[in-house]
């Protein structure tokens, strides 16, 4: 399964414009037990949640961008995401303790 995790309409629009597809879209990933090895989770998760995704054998693709401080806390459009160099980057994260 391919999960897209975001509550932001601009991020959803950006993903669609990139031709990226998913099976399930949720605002927040709350049920990690549903994840299986081989699943793909895309979005911007807190690091502890990204580690949980990876611990379950799923792949984590982070929606990465450089947001200027004056734009933080705002809803961003897909055009603004493009301007900030948005991309999906694969990360393997594991907790050490």
Q: What pLDDT is attached to residue 72? A: 86
Contact (CB, 8 A) for 17 and 77: no
Q: What pLDDT is attached to residue 36? A: 97
pLDDT tens digits for range 59-87: 999 999 988 888 888 899 999 999 999 99
Q: What pLDDT is attached to residue 10? A: 96
Q: Across residues 42-62, what is the average pLDDT?
A: 97
Q: Rounded distance, CA 35 to CA 45, Å?
A: 15
Domain ranges of the chain: 2-91
Q: What pLDDT is attached to residue 37? A: 97
Give the residue ranges of DSSP H helices in 4-97: 9-17, 47-55, 78-83
Q: What is the pTM of this model?
A: 0.92
């Amino acid at each position: 399964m391919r999960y897209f995790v975001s509550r932001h309409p601009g991020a959803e629009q950006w993903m669609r414009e990139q031709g990226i597809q998913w099976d399930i879209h949720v605002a927040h990933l709350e049920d990690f037990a549903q994840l299986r090895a081989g699943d793909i989770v895309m979005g911007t998760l807190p690091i502890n949640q990204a580690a949980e995704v990876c611990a379950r054998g799923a792949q984590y693709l982070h929606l990465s961008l450089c947001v200027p401080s004056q734009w933080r806390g705002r809803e961003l459009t897909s055009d603004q995401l493009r301007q900030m160099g948005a991309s999906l980057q694969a990360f393997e994260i594991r907790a050490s303790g």
